[in-house]
Amino acid sequence: MALEALFSRQPIMRRVLISLIPILLFAIYSFGLRILPLLAVVTVAGVSTEYLILRFMHGEKEFKIPEAIFVSCFLFVLTLPPTVPFWVAAVGISFGILFGKAVFGGFAKNIFNPALVGRCLIFISFPKFMTMAWAAPFRNFPGGFLHYSSGADVVSGVTPLVETGLDPLRLFLGQISGSSGEISTVLILMGAVYLVLTKTASLRIMISALIGFLSANIILYFTGAVTATPLISLLSGGFLFAAVFMATDPITAPRDQQAQIIFGLLIGFLTMILRTYSVFREGAMFAILLANAFGPLIEMRVKEFKQRGMVHER
């Protein structure tokens, strides 16, 4: 069966994939060619899971697999440590597609981001592979383009969120350990600009998430609850990647403009609170899933207020 006959064309999803290509290339440069077979395994597992689910749902009727599955696979891989075992990644994406999307009726009916649902499962179920060791990135060209992996230089138990004396420039450029696609702030911002200019993602959600995050961080910093400055907190961890590529998912995010602002603020605020007070050092994943759960309620309430004339359209 030809690819065009098997997959439904979704231009918006293709634009998201284009925005992720520089980040993927930098992940390979930083951590080695192992990223490519990891992506291949995840894509095969994700597409196979989606195909089997759709086959079960449609029976003998013709159907097409939404190209959104490739976005889910790319995002999922880029949120993982580069040393994660292939089988763990395959389990995670299959779980995410099944329980993050299929159980709600399939594409465009899910309220949770499938990639984050899958990551949540393996983050909790296999913490040894997700949080206990981080590969140190290559720093000299051609870096990982000539190496399978940087697994020989593993920094046990250390992530940017618990390191001290971090250089903001290193964080901005991505010269740190961390998940494959979350380390380079400059490439994430470039992706954000592309998504906004092509009207693929909501700038409103990105900005409001940033405001919520920084507001919470400033309060916690001056009360002594956290020691990292707002700048260091913003540049470290996976918040920026999540705010740009996960929070703005057009399926799981609200469509109403005012609801998007509340949604973004909630994600930013919850990320910082969870990062500070929960047992998990990185809270963006849980913050977005929680916001996904409340997204339909937020949108419904905002529309009710508008009908009563309490909120004005812009």
Are 22 and 135 within one domain?
yes
- Final residue in a domain of this structure, among 164, 185, 212: 164
Are 155 and 240 within one domain?
no
Could you give the CA distance from residue 93 to residue 122 in angstroms, rounded to a whole number? 9
- Final residue in a domain of this structure, among 164, 190, 223: 164
Are 233 and 123 within one domain?
no
Could you give the CA distance from residue 189 to residue 155 in angstroms, rounded to a whole number? 27
Are 159 and 211 within one domain?
no
Q: Which domain holds residue 60?
A: 1-164
Are 109 and 43 within one domain?
yes
In a domain, 252, yes or no: yes
- Final residue in a domain of this structure, among 164, 190, 214: 164
Are 45 and 155 within one domain?
yes
Residue whose C-alpha is closest to residue 244's, from 295, 182, 302? 182
- Full-model pTM: 0.91
In a domain, 298, yes or no: yes
Q: Which residues pair with 66 in a beta bridge?
A: 8
Q: Which residues pair with 155 in a beta bridge?
A: 134
What is the tally of structural domains in the chain?
2
Are 158 and 279 within one domain?
no
Are 150 and 34 within one domain?
yes
**Which tokens in the block code for residue 206?**
């990105």
In a domain, 279, yes or no: yes
**Beta strands 133-135 and 154-156, pairing class:** antiparallel
Are 147 and 252 within one domain?
no
The alpha carbon of residue 74 and the mean position of all alpha carbons in its chain are separated, in whole angstroms, by 9
**Which tokens in the block code for residue 101?**
């999307």
Residue whose C-alpha is closest to residue 31's, from 92, 73, 77, 67? 77
Are 205 and 160 within one domain?
no
* Local confidence pLDDT in tens for the 314 residues of the chain: 456 678 888 999 999 999 999 999 999 999 999 999 999 999 999 999 999 999 998 887 888 899 999 999 999 999 999 999 999 999 999 999 999 999 998 888 999 999 999 999 999 999 888 877 778 888 888 888 888 886 444 554 445 555 545 678 888 887 888 888 888 899 999 999 999 999 999 999 999 999 999 999 999 999 988 888 899 889 888 899 999 999 999 999 999 999 999 999 999 999 999 999 988 777 899 999 999 999 999 999 998 888 887 655 55
Could you give the CA distance from residue 248 to residue 259 in angstroms, rounded to a whole number? 12
In a domain, 267, yes or no: yes
In a domain, 223, yes or no: yes
Q: Which residues pair with 65 in a beta bridge?
A: 7
Are 154 and 205 within one domain?
no
Are 78 and 131 within one domain?
yes
